Structure 1
């Protein structure tokens, strides 16, 4: 009997030790999980106008994040989340700035500047204005095949998890579809599509003669070492040489930055070199937020920084649904937190299809498109300057000249100049669950000369 009790005791002790190890090693991750849930819930509800239950049942039902419990505080326009009652985090929504995670023990200032926006609706039909799209039949388009192509994206809702699709051909809206709860005006989180939006702001600055891409980035802490050679071009091409771990499966550079840091721009600036500037390619959300912080330095006042992307780009082409969320320090989260409706993401793609000319209003030089679509050495021809490319034929059934703004969970703005097409797809799944190549192949078949 004593031997049995001793064995049981040892088993319980061993189990306790194992559970203790698991708890203490996994406990720090809980704050990332609860931070993700709180931030996403606050933005989805107060920025995108989504129903909290729908967000819980869909957006938060992803590995690990599903362990969280999120609650909405409508009175204070906030959301809180925890995991098994532990590591509670809170995110607060601010009009014009989006939602922000509060560092523990802090509160937001009572008053904060917000972007001054001019959003006068244009009576012109979409995409030029805010009126309904022109009801017209474009010669040469096989609309039956186009419906088949759009069907491809929604064929298996439980696996593909597509939410919205929209197709622009020669500047005309020729097809779109939305699942229940979403429509043409519902803001959708672009995740890393925001990187391409941030790059566009740099393209506008260059066109206006306010910045040169070969200029070394003005980071004071870099001036005494090799990092002083890092240029804006290196940063836009993810070739800074700075160490960075873009791993979303646990505690890493990127998850610490997005869900623990108050000042995301400072995160990458503190890193040491893993190689000389320009010597290697390393995809880094930290780089994008560093660029956002450096962008802030281009202006004499914080208000000018907030206003510039909207005045010179976003509202200028009618993307009135777009919101660039800021971090706790007030900088745009240029890596991840840009929201816009599907139609406004389509406007963004059309601006690039038109090579910076918005129906007679030029925002950036036509050469900027050549710059962002030139393959970056070391990327395997998959990446340009804050845009993804098909130069490596990663999409084998799609023309090689396609370039893309891509985001987590399969957010895409596909721009195909040789076919005069912009295709937008948003959802909650990416490859292999959502086969973007098969989807685009079917859509392309609806247009003249569709085969690559």
Structure 2
């Protein structure tokens, strides 16, 4: 018989952490440990059935999209993006093909490919052809040198997926055909873990907004977090290979150590963040930690990783304690919230 898995380490004071979050303006707080819901509280507009706009928290789903696409043989994270996006190949029709030809798909998912963040962003992305914007974005830096936060990398990755699954480039460098990326994710992964978005915003050409367009309830997003924590396993089934999920939180790019593939990492960034060169949408106190070579939450294990969207919409995954926590709204700096939960608050 296989040995029983040891229980997760004891936590600090989950009730105090939830109370702190609610007291500082969060409208929804949910904590799971070992796959069990241990705390859940709503206030104001927060409700158990409310689909929340995840904004950039949407990027977390790209981890599962990339893993499933690789498992199914469509594309590998280490591939050159120009294999799918022919306009980026040598002599391609996109601006700066000389630099873009060396961008890998994992560069796109880690925002280290050098694509500029010019053009529409956030909800304005839905008013343009977001795939064309991403494909024609200028290359501001060579890959693996600078962390450039913005939507173009994720829209380019989704475009590459749809091109790799039978799509084609239009004359104006848009994308037509191929498998719809969100429909594929829903069938391949989300249906199998029992969740679905309440809505997923799309642009004027019908392409899904992967940079910030998904709406999920707090419970559904936490369920996805549990799937990631379990490295792609669900109810005894390995939905996607564990190694392909695990790399989302272990991927290293020397351009910036604080981001994996679709997730922020609590690793110390060392000398990889240069204010004014690398861009990260964090409040002053967290940006200062990056500038000093530190991490997002110094009082929390470095193995923690998270998704973060505008309006302080956040999901935290703490493998050390088998915790998934979702916090909608409230404080920008979550070191205290997490430290209270783990009992590591100074």
TM-score (norm 1): 0.60
Cα separation, 2, equivalents of 1:304 and 1:259 = 21
Could you give the per-residue CA deviations for residues 400-446 of structure 1, whole angstroms, max 9, x where no partner exists? 1001111111111100001110010012x542xxx31111111122x
Match of 2:259 among 383, 393, 400: 383
Match of 2:113 among 240, 256, 265: 240
The answer to whether the 8 A contact 1:314-1:322 is kept is: no
Q: Does 2:342 align with 1:444? A: yes
Determine the structure 2 residue equivalent to 1:168: 32
Q: Aligned with 1:229: secondary structure?
A: coil
Determine the structure 2 residue equivalent to 1:65: none
**CA-CA distance at 1:394 after TM superposition:** 2.1
Determine the structure 2 residue equivalent to 1:184: 48
Determine the structure 2 residue equivalent to 1:316: 192
Query: Do the aligned partners of residues 303 and 340 (structure 1) sit closer, same or farther apart at CA in structure 2, a change above 3 Å counting?
Result: farther
Cα separation, 2, equivalents of 1:303 and 1:193 = 25
Q: Aligned with 1:149: secondary structure?
A: helix
Q: Aligned with 1:414: secondary structure?
A: strand
Q: Aligned with 2:244: secondary structure?
A: helix
Within a 5 Å distance, the mapping from 1:331-346 to structure 2 comes to: 331-346=207-222
The answer to whether the 8 A contact 1:192-1:406 is kept is: yes
Cα separation, 2, equivalents of 1:161 and 1:309 = 33
Cα separation, 1, equivalents of 2:232 and 2:310 = 26
Determine the structure 2 residue equivalent to 1:69: none
**CA-CA distance at 1:167 after TM superposition:** 0.3
Match of 2:72 among 208, 213, 221: 208
Match of 2:16 among 123, 126, 148: 148
Q: Does 2:97 align with 1:229? A: no
Cα separation, 1, equivalents of 2:229 and 2:222 = 10
Query: Do the aligned partners of residues 444 and 257 (structure 1) sit closer, same or farther apart at CA in structure 2, a change above 3 Å counting?
Result: closer
Determine the structure 2 residue equivalent to 1:368: 244
The answer to whether the 8 A contact 1:409-1:430 is kept is: no
Determine the structure 2 residue equivalent to 1:351: 227
Cα separation, 2, equivalents of 1:189 and 1:240 = 27
Query: Do the aligned partners of residues 210 and 164 (structure 1) sit closer, same or farther apart at CA in structure 2, a change above 3 Å counting?
Result: same
Query: Do the aligned partners of residues 430 and 147 (structure 1) sit closer, same or farther apart at CA in structure 2, a change above 3 Å counting?
Result: closer
Greater gyration radius? 1
Query: Do the aligned partners of residues 140 and 260 (structure 1) sit closer, same or farther apart at CA in structure 2, a change above 3 Å counting?
Result: closer
Cα separation, 1, equivalents of 2:8 and 2:78 = 45
CA RMSD, aligned part only?
2.5
Query: Do the aligned partners of residues 277 and 172 (structure 1) sit closer, same or farther apart at CA in structure 2, a change above 3 Å counting?
Result: same
Q: Does 2:151 align with 1:274? A: no
Q: Does 2:58 align with 1:194? A: yes
**CA-CA distance at 1:257 after TM superposition:** 7.9
Cα separation, 2, equivalents of 1:168 and 1:142 = 11
Cα separation, 2, equivalents of 1:213 and 1:349 = 21
Q: Does 2:164 align with 1:298? A: yes
**CA-CA distance at 1:180 after TM superposition:** 3.2
Query: Do the aligned partners of residues 438 and 206 (structure 1) sit closer, same or farther apart at CA in structure 2, a change above 3 Å counting?
Result: same
Q: Which moved more, 1:268-277 or 1:338-347?
A: 268-277
Query: Do the aligned partners of residues 256 and 166 (structure 1) sit closer, same or farther apart at CA in structure 2, a change above 3 Å counting?
Result: closer
Query: Do the aligned partners of residues 147 and 355 (structure 1) sit closer, same or farther apart at CA in structure 2, a change above 3 Å counting?
Result: same
**CA-CA distance at 1:280 after TM superposition:** 2.3
Query: Do the aligned partners of residues 256 and 397 (structure 1) sit closer, same or farther apart at CA in structure 2, a change above 3 Å counting?
Result: closer
Q: Aligned with 1:289: secondary structure?
A: helix
The answer to whether the 8 A contact 1:411-1:426 is kept is: yes
Cα separation, 2, equivalents of 1:148 and 1:320 = 31
**CA-CA distance at 1:261 after TM superposition:** 4.1
Q: Aligned with 2:258: secondary structure?
A: coil
- Give structure 1 stretches of 5+ with no counterpart: 1-137, 246-252
Query: Do the aligned partners of residues 343 and 275 (structure 1) sit closer, same or farther apart at CA in structure 2, a change above 3 Å counting?
Result: same
Larger relative contact order (Cα-Cα within 8 Å, sequence gap ≥ 6): 2
**CA-CA distance at 1:325 after TM superposition:** 2.0
Query: Do the aligned partners of residues 403 and 321 (structure 1) sit closer, same or farther apart at CA in structure 2, a change above 3 Å counting?
Result: same
Q: Aligned with 1:297: secondary structure?
A: helix
Query: Do the aligned partners of residues 444 and 391 (structure 1) sit closer, same or farther apart at CA in structure 2, a change above 3 Å counting?
Result: same
TM-score (norm 2): 0.78
